[in-house]
Structure 1
Amino acid sequence: GARGGLAWRTFQIQRRLAETEGNLDKVYSFGYLLIAAPSGLLVEPPMVTEAQRAVIVAVGGQNAAVADRVYRINRGARIVTAPRNWRSYLERDWGKVDPPPKLLRPKNQRELAEWRKWINVGWEEGVQQADEVFEADLDRLNGDYMGMIRYRELLAQGMITPPYAAQEDRGITGGGSEMRIGDRGLNITAPALLNPKSDLWITAPR
């Protein structure tokens, strides 16, 4: 029951996603957020979270700290070969649901009635689980995407520094069973950092 409801509801969700994939491609266009790097590689920008009206009360309640906004770099820049895709977040397949073995099936009318009752209960729980899984996946997608957009916004305001990547030309390397010609290495040499010097901000924050 539960596995059947989970698979059925997930199939419905996936079918709806397939119907709207064109719009989703436009909404979650990760490619526009990437930073070009040497040798055809790309740098995925940091993900920055924002909390508003953050309050911290010390143990004992004798003092507290309040901030209008708190920015945090949750994940730094990364070197990638291709942009992310919303499909890797939202597409799921729970596989084929096999029927229970004969040993576990009802043997009389009383057991059959109980069987059907608990199958229905399990089905509803499976449907609910599928919705919860989708919501969690969607929250993760939105969090990552908005985190990269927030980085771009802060960068435009001078509130965060960009990451820097450097290429190292190593020429010909290896030997024996493998040799690399035109070998190059790319390293992020400086991470993005939040800039607390408000006099250097280009525009006032929201």
Structure 2
Amino acid sequence: MHKIMLWSCSMRRFLARTAEALACSFLLVLPAVAAQPVPLSSLQEIEAPAGLSEELSGLQIRNDAIREAALSYGARGGLSARTFELMLEVAKYDTEMSRVFDFRQLLVPAPSGMLIEPPVIDESQYALKVAPEGQEAAVADRVFAIDKPARIVSAPRDWRSYIEREWDMVEPPVAVLLPRTDEERASWRKWVSEGWKMGFQQADEIFQADLDRLVKDYTGMVRYRMLLAQGMVSAPYAMHQDRGVTGGGKEMRVGDRAIRITGPSQFEPRAERWTPADR
């Protein structure tokens, strides 16, 4: 019976703890700061300008339209405000994030100053597969799959491209949909507050999804390096070609060189060829 040799458990635990700690830290609510997006109170107190025509007045459709406008206004405001807060929090962890998610150390040098980014390998545990007719099933302790193949790059990935987002100033609804009466103002404040909470939650969900994607890609590349060291997956093969002088007409390239990945990484199913992982 062959002993399955897996990539370092300590590395897996380290990445999991790091991702969890960063996620918890980023989701802290910050105190109010200067130059942040418009606060909830300002969105709630907006009113229709004087002298506006009575279009939609007295109709149920006006109440429904105001509600939709208030919910949308509040949601956009909450999304913008929470995104702003999260980006401020991310900036505090710039050094730590750059150290933990250092994609440069995972790249492989290639000819002509190019770099090869390793594949991203996913891992699932206790995978069960049942045939459509239900007469056969298979279960595996672990299943590895190449989610993204190796590719040629000129620079390493930047973790900031995963989670940094811009926040936008929130434009108010058209004037005809702004509250005019005390009753409308009370409803407006309530609906804007509801929308604000939804936008706030949406910003947290977007950030968590972005952070999960960052951790997944980085962990997948680390997993590839560990499996490669154990002989469980092959390295991608790149072919370099010196093409000399190419082009003509309006453009000519001198010392033109090309690099192309001709052999993608593949798993090694023969367990006898694997080597033990360092513990």
Q: TM-score range by the shorter chain?
A: over 0.9
Q: What is the CA-CA distance between 1:204 and the residue it aligns to?
A: 6.4
Task: Choose the corresponding residue for 2:240, options 146, 167, 187.
Answer: 167
Higher share of residues assigned strand: 1
- Alignment partner of 1:151 is 2:238: no
Classify 1:169/1:77 alpha carbon distance in 2 versus 1 (closer, same or farther; 3 Å): same
Structure 1 moving runs of 4+ over 4 Å: none
User: Counterpart amino acid of 1:176?
Assistant: G
| Alignment partner of 2:135 out of 47, 62, 80 | 62
Unmatched 5+ residue regions in structure 2?
1-73
CA RMSD of aligned residues (A): 1.3
Q: TM-score, normalised by structure 2?
A: 0.72
**Which protein shows a greater Rg?**
2
Post-superposition CA distance 1:164-185 (Å, at most 9, x none) = 1111111001111110000011
Aligned length: 206
Deviation at 1:62, TM superposition (A): 2.5
Amino acid at match of 1:58: A
Amino acid at match of 2:119: P
Of 198, 202, 205 in structure 1, the residue corresponding to residue 275 of structure 2 is 202
The answer to whether structure 1 residue 5 and structure 2 residue 78 are counterparts is yes
1:182 aligns with 2:251: no
Which of 141, 149, 168 is 1:95 aligned to? 168
Distance 1:4 1:165, change over 3 A: same
Separation in structure 1 between the aligned mates of residue 130 and residue 261 of structure 2, nearest angstrom:
37
Aligned match of 2:112: 39
Cα displacement string for residues 96-142 of structure 1 (whole angstroms, at most 9, x for unaligned residues): 21122211100111111111110000000000000000011011101
Number of the residue aligned with 2:211 = 138
Equivalent position amino acid for 1:55 in 2: L
Question: 2:99 and 2:159 mapped to 1: Cα distance?
Answer: 10
Superimposed CA distance per residue, residues 15-63 of structure 1 (whole angstroms, 9 cap, x where no aligned partner): 0000110000001000000000001000000000011111112234332
Aligned twin of 1:119 = 192
After superposition, the Cα gap between the structure-2 partners of 1:38 and 1:23, relative to the gap in structure 1 and judged at 3 Å, is same
Alpha-carbon distance between aligned partners in 1 of 2:245 and 2:152, rounded to the nearest angstrom: 23
What are structure 1's unaligned runs of at least 5 residues? none
Q: TM-score, normalised by structure 1?
A: 0.97
% identity of equivalent residues: 55
Pairwise CA distance, 1:205 = 10
